[in-house]
Amino acid sequence: MKLWEKGTKINDLIESFTVGKDREMDFFLAEFDIIGSLAHIKMLQHIGLLDINEYEALAKELKSIYLEVSDGKFAIEVGVEDIHSQIELLLTARLGETGKKIHSGRSRNDQVLLDLKLFTRDAIKTVADNSIHLFEILISQSNRYKEVLLPGYTHLQVAMPSSFGLWFSAYAESLTDDLILLQAAYRVADQNPLGSAAGYGSSFPLDRQMTTDLLGFETMNINVVYAQMGRGKMEKIVLFAMASIASTLSRLAFDVCLYTSQNFNFVKLPDELTTGSSIMPHKKNPDVFELLRAHCNKLQSLPSEMLTITNNLPSGYFRDMQLTKEIFIPAFQELNECINIAAFALEHIRINENILQDDKYRFLYSVEEVNRLVLSGLPFRDAYREVGASIENNQFNPDKTIHHTHIGSIGNLSLDRIEAKMRQIVSQFNFEKASLAIEALLKA
C-alpha cells in the first residue's frame, strides 16, 4: 500500500530499486517523524483543520507509537514505503477517518526535511558532547605531561624542542575550531522547514511560527522554495563540520602510529589496546589508530559525495535526494565511534619521559643557542652563522635548558585560555532550547 497509489500496481523491480535503503534509514528518523507530527497536528487544531477531539485522539496515538519506537516494538511493514507512510497508516487503522487528516497542509517532502533537521540537531549534540569529552582528556593529558619534552619536526626532520603538553593541547585547541564549524552547521539545521509542503507552500492558513516555536527551532526557512533547496545543502554543511573533526582525529592518529614505532618510541599503547601478527611474535600493532585514521579519511570524503549527488540539481524536489540519507545518517555513528575510541586510547597511552637524552636530538637546541647569543647582543644573522658553523664543524655542545614564557609555548601552555575558548563555543549551541521544546511536546 502506497499513500500515492491510484489503482495501478507498480512493477516489483521498480519498487525495489526506488525504495532502496529508505526503510532502513527511516528507522533513524522514526521518533523525529512523530515529534514533527505532534507539532503539526497542534498547529492544525489551532487553525481549525482539526477539532479538539480529533487532535487529542491523534496526539494520544502518536505518543503511543513513540513509545513503541522507544521500546523497539515498531516496524515498517512489508510493502510500506517509508516511515511517514507507516505512521499515517497506523493512525488510520487505529482512528479511522481522523487518522487520514494528519497530512493536511504538508507533503512528504517537507516532512522528511523536518525529520532530518530534528535528527541532525539531536545527532550534532551527541557529536559535540563526545568531542568535549575528548577535549577534556587531551587537556588533562597535556597538564599531566607538560614538563615532558619531545622533538618537534619540520619536513620530518628534527627541528626544535616540543613537549607532550604542547602536543596534547594542540589537538585540544584544534577541536575548538572544529566545534565552531559544528556550531555553524547546527544553526543551519536549526531552521524549521515545515509548511513548505512540496516546495511551494499551501493554501491552508498554516501557522509556521507556531510549529517553529513548538519544535524549539531558532528560526525557520522562510521561503518555501528555498526550504526544499536546503535539502542536501544542510547535510553537506554538516558533513563538512564533521569532516573537520575527522581531520583532527586523522592527523592525531597518524602521529600516534608514528610515535609508537620503534624508530621513534615516543609513546606506547598498553598491550590490551594493540593487536599482533600471525607470524611475527614480537609485533604489537597500533591497529586502533590505523583504523581510526582510515575511518576519518573516509568521513572526510563524504562532503564531496554529497556535493556530487546534489551539485547540478535545479530548484524543486528530485528523488536523487533519497540517496543523501544513506550517506548522511550513518556518518554520525561512525564519527562518534572514532571520537570515543580516540578518547579511550589517549586516556591510557603511555609516555616515554626520557626521549631527548638520546644524542641524536642535540641539534634540537640550535635555535635556543642562536637566541641566547642574540640576547647577549649579537645580531641574529651573525648568531645564526656562528651556531651553523659550530654544527658543521661538529663542535656544537648546546645548553639544553629550555626557557619559553610566551602564551602558548612550552613554558606557558595557557590551558585555561584554551578551556575558556571551548566553554564559550559550547555555550552558544543552545541545545537546551530544543530539548525543552521536545520534552514539552511529548508531555502535552
Task: Provide the grid cell at 325.
Answer: 540519507
177 and 242 co-located in one domain: yes
Q: How confident is the model at residue 315 (pLDDT cuts 50, 70, 90)?
A: confident
Residue 293 lies in a domain: yes
| 419 neighbors 168 (Cβ within 8 angstroms) | no
364 and 353 co-located in one domain: no
Residue 156 lies in a domain: no
What's the CATH number where 179 sits?
1.20.200.10
Integer Cα distance of 374 and 28 in angstroms:
63
Residue 38 lies in a domain: yes
| 193 neighbors 221 (Cβ within 8 angstroms) | yes
What DSSP designation does 159 have? E
Amino acid at 290: E
The two beta strands, 219-220 and 267-268, are unpaired
pLDDT tens digits, one per residue of 95-129? 999 999 999 999 989 999 999 999 999 999 999 99
234 and 185 co-located in one domain: yes
Cα separation values, 182 from 300, 346, 347, 370, 410, Å? 14, 23, 24, 42, 29
Cα separation values, 435 from 139, 195, 217, 319, 432, Å? 29, 22, 10, 31, 5
Other C-beta atoms closer than 10 Å to the C-beta of 141 total: 21
Residue 62 lies in a domain: yes
Integer Cα distance of 373 and 371 in angstroms:
5
Integer Cα distance of 370 and 385 in angstroms:
9
351 and 366 co-located in one domain: no
Domain that holds residue 398: 360-410
Task: Provide the grid cell at 45.
Answer: 487544531
284 and 390 co-located in one domain: no
Integer Cα distance of 5 and 8 in angstroms:
7
Half-sphere CA count of 238, side-chain side, radius 13 A: 31
126 and 194 co-located in one domain: yes
What's the CATH number where 46 sits?
1.10.275.10
Mean pLDDT of 47-61: 97
Give the least confident one: 6-20, 196-210, 243-257, 332-346: 6-20
Q: Minimal CA–CA distance to 113: which of 182, 183, 40?
A: 40
32 and 175 co-located in one domain: no
Residue 6 lies in a domain: no
40 and 125 co-located in one domain: no
273 and 385 co-located in one domain: no
Q: Is the pLDDT of residue 4 over 70?
A: no
Integer Cα distance of 154 and 327 in angstroms:
36
Residue 325 lies in a domain: yes
Integer Cα distance of 415 and 318 in angstroms:
49
Q: Is the pLDDT of residue 6 over 90?
A: no
Domain count, the chain: 3
Provide the pLDDT for residue 316. Answer: 79
Give the least confident one: 11-15, 50-54, 255-259, 297-301: 11-15
Half-sphere CA count of 103, side-chain side, radius 13 A: 18
Residue 326 lies in a domain: yes
369 and 296 co-located in one domain: no
Query: Which helix or strand (DSSP H or E) is residue 220 part of?
Result: strand 219-220
238 and 372 co-located in one domain: no
Residue 152 lies in a domain: no
340 and 193 co-located in one domain: yes
pLDDT tens digits, one per residue of 241-300? 999 999 999 999 999 999 999 999 999 999 898 888 788 888 888 999 999 999 999 999
Helices (H) and strands (E) in the chain, counts: 17, 6
Place of cell 495501478: 8
